[in-house]
C-alpha cells in the first residue's frame, strides 16, 4: 500500500481547509470591528462636546443674573410705592377720588378720610391753651385738666356750672363754656360730654335719680355748645353716669364735691 502526499492536502475529513482564506477573513472582521468602535467613540465624543456642561465655560452660564436683577428692580419699585402711599395727603386723596367719581358718574361716593388723631405737637398745643385759659381766669379750683389714654379731659365741677340739684345753665356757666368753646371749636376731634353726681340719692319730680340729673347736665352743656357756640353736632356725644366713676372719695364734703361734675372729653 502506498501513501501519496496529495491524499492529505487539507482533505483529511472530507473537505479542504484553506488557512490562508480564514486568516484573511478574521483579520478583516477585526479591522471592521475596530473601525466601527473607533467611529462610535468619535461620535460619542462629538455628542458630549455638543452638550452644555457645568464645568465648561460658556457665555450662557450667567443668564440667572438677568432674572436676579429684574427681581431686585421689582422689589425696589415695591418699596418705593409702599413709602409713597404711607403718607397720604388728604386733599390730594379727595381730588383723586373726586376725579374717579366724575369719571364713573358716581357723585355720592364718600370722598373724605377719617379725621386724623391729634399728633403729639397739636395735642401739646391744645393742652397748653386750655391750661392757660384755666390760669388766666382763675378756674384752678373749679376746672381740672387731665391727659390720659382717651385724650384730654376737662373736669368742670358743679360749683361753676350748676346750682345744687339743678341742671340749668346760668350766666356764669355760659361764660365759662364760651371760653372753652373758643379753644375747642377749631379742633377736628370728637367731643364727649359726660355728666356725674356724688352718691347722695336724689328723687324729685324733674330728676327721680342721679342718672336723670347727670344726663340732664351733660345734655344741657352739649346743647349750649352746639346751639350757641357753633360746635358741630356731628362731633358731640352725651353720656350720663350718675354716681358711677367718681374721681374722689365720697366720705368728706370737699371730696364729694369733686364727683359732682361735667367732663368735656376731647377724644383721640
Q: What is the pLDDT of residues 218-232, one digit of tens each?
A: 999 999 999 999 999
Q: Which three cell numbers stand for residue 163?
A: 346750682
Segment 113-155, tens digit of pLDDT: 444 444 677 888 999 999 999 999 999 999 999 998 899 999 9
Report d(CA 260, CA 217) in Å as an integer.
Answer: 10
Q: How many Cβ atoms from other residues are within 10 Å of residue 123's Cβ?
A: 18
Burial track 186-206 (b if 16+ CB lie within 10 A, e otherwise): ebebbbbbbbbbbeeebeeee
Report d(CA 235, CA 116) in Å as an integer.
Answer: 14
pTM metric for this prediction: 0.57
Report d(CA 68, CA 268) in Å as an integer.
Answer: 46
Task: Tell me the pLDDT of the chain averaged across its residues.
Answer: 77
- Taken in order of first residue, the domains within the chain and their CATH numbers are 120-267 (3.30.1330.60)
Report d(CA 257, CA 164) in Å as an integer.
Answer: 10
Report d(CA 107, CA 103) in Å as an integer.
Answer: 10
pLDDT recorded at residue 64: 75
Segment 7-48, tens digit of pLDDT: 444 444 444 444 444 445 445 544 555 554 555 555 554 544
Q: Which three cell numbers stand for residue 59?
A: 457665555
Q: Are 192 and 241 in contact (CB under 8 A)?
A: no
Q: Work out the average pLDDT over 65-84.
A: 84
Residue 6: pLDDT band by 50, 70, 90 thresholds? very low
pLDDT recorded at residue 27: 53
Residues in the chain, total: 268
Residue 96 above 90 pLDDT?
Answer: no
Q: Which residue has the higher pLDDT, 26 or 173?
A: 173
pLDDT recorded at residue 59: 55
Report d(CA 195, CA 113) in Å as an integer.
Answer: 31
Helices (H), 105-149: 120-136
Q: Work out the average pLDDT over 100-118.
A: 49
Report d(CA 109, CA 51) in Å as an integer.
Answer: 64
C-alpha dihedral sign at 6, 9, 15, 18 = negative
Amino acid at each position: 500500500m502506498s501513501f501519496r502526499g496529495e491524499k492529505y492536502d487539507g482533505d483529511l475529513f472530507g473537505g479542504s481547509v484553506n488557512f490562508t482564506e480564514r486568516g484573511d477573513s478574521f483579520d478583516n472582521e477585526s479591522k471592521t470591528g475596530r473601525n466601527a468602535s473607533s467611529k462610535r467613540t468619535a461620535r460619542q465624543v462629538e455628542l458630549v462636546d455638543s452638550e452644555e456642561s457645568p464645568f465648561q465655560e460658556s457665555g450662557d452660564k450667567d443668564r440667572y443674573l438677568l432674572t436676579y436683577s429684574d427681581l431686585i428692580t421689582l422689589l425696589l419699585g415695591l418699596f418705593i410705592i409702599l413709602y409713597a402711599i404711607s403718607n397720604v395727603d388728604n386733599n390730594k386723596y379727595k381730588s383723586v377720588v373726586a376725579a374717579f367719581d366724575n369719571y364713573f358718574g358716581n357723585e355720592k361716593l364718600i370722598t373724605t378720610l377719617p379725621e386724623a388723631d391729634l399728633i403729639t405737637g397739636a395735642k401739646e398745643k391744645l393742652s397748653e391753651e386750655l391750661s392757660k385759659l384755666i390760669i388766666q381766669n382763675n378756674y384752678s379750683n373749679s376746672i381740672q385738666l387731665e391727659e390720659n389714654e382717651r385724650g384730654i379731659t376737662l373736669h368742670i365741677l358743679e360749683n361753676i356750672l350748676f346750682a345744687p340739684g339743678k341742671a340749668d345753665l346760668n350766666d356764669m356757666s355760659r361764660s365759662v363754656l364760651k371760653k372753652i368753646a373758643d379753644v375747642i371749636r377749631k379742633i377736628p376731634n370728637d367731643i364727649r360730654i359726660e355728666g356725674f353726681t356724688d352718691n347722695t340719692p336724689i328723687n324729685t319730680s324733674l330728676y327721680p335719680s342721679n342718672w336723670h340729673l347727670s344726663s340732664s347736665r351733660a345734655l344741657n352743656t352739649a346743647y349750649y355748645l352746639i346751639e350757641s357756640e357753633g360746635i358741630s353736632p356731628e362731633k358731640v356725644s352725651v353720656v350720663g353716669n350718675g354716681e358711677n366713676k367718681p374721681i374722689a372719695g365720697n366720705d368728706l364734703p370737699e371730696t364729694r364735691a369733686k364727683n359732682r361734675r361735667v367732663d368735656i372729653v376731647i377724644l383721640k
